[in-house]
Amino acid sequence: MTTRRKGILGTAVGAVVLFVLSVLYVFYFTIQPPRVQAAADASGSTQLTLQTVGALGPDYEHPAWVSYLVENAKGEWIHSTEIELPANTLVHVTILQYDSATGLRNPFFARPQGTIGGVIDVDGKEVNIVDPQAPAHTFAVPELGVFVPLPGVAGDASNTCSAAPCTLDQAHHTVTFSFRTRGPGRYRFQCFVPCAAGYYAGNGGPMQRYGYMGGYLDVV
């Protein structure tokens, strides 16, 4: 094969590789999950209900992946982390946490921050700090200064959830708290517990894929 032909072949192969990588980037990182609008209540506040699951189950693209789900105004659980909230509003959050503990790598996140009163309610008990080894996940919105640890379900718990959406009769912790939104903007939220089993240091897969353990609060 002549040098010229080798050059042409190399260019063609490079173009194909670039095309494939571009398609993969679009598929994995730019496809937007459905936007879910949080429900308003009569007082003018907003109610946001989420659940975290240890495995989505067979009805989803990645059955073994951990993920957030959000409840819409009809009471349906939606696999999405694209959430619409009103600006400058008090948001009451309920998170049903079904996954087992992984533990924090940074104990800084063991103390709730950015919530009203600097506290959270775990199964009816108000707390201002949790054991750093207890969390399965966190709900963290760095731009708003919100960091909430979500304690994990005991490893020997009975009736654990193996497929989303999970139900109230399955083993879980109920975590509630409130925070205030700021002006309009797009605010990133993320789990800061490396909870992607099977990936290097727990930081691949659902930790990096939009719509699983990270997403956006679209404040309007």
How crowded is residue 205: how many other Cβ atoms within 10 Å of its Cβ? 19
Question: What whole-number distance in Å separates Cα of residue 48 and Cα of residue 40?
Answer: 9
Predicted confidence band of residue 1 (pLDDT cuts 50, 70, 90): low
pLDDT tens, position by position, 69-79:
999 999 999 99
Inform me whether the pLDDT recorded for 11 exceeds 90: no
pLDDT tens, position by position, 34-60:
999 998 887 888 999 999 999 999 999
Quick one: tokens of 82? 């694209």
Question: What whole-number distance in Å separates Cα of residue 177 and Cα of residue 183?
Answer: 20
For the residues of 119-172, what is the DSSP string, one character each?
-EEETTEEES---TT-EEEEEEEGGGTEEEEEEPBPTT-SS---SSSP-TTSS-
Quick one: tokens of 45? 């506040």
Residue 13 has a pLDDT of 54
φ, ψ at 119 (rounded to 5°)? -130, 165
Inform me whether the pLDDT recorded for 29 exceeds 70: no
Angstrom CA distances, 132 to 110, 113, 129, 150, 151, stand at: 5, 14, 9, 10, 9
Please list the residues that pair with 149 across neighbouring strands: 138
| Cα atoms in the Cβ-side hemisphere of radius 13 Å centred on 105 | 8
Sign of the C-alpha dihedral computed for residues 58, 59, 60 and 61 taken in this order: positive
Question: What whole-number distance in Å separates Cα of residue 53 and Cα of residue 163?
Answer: 8
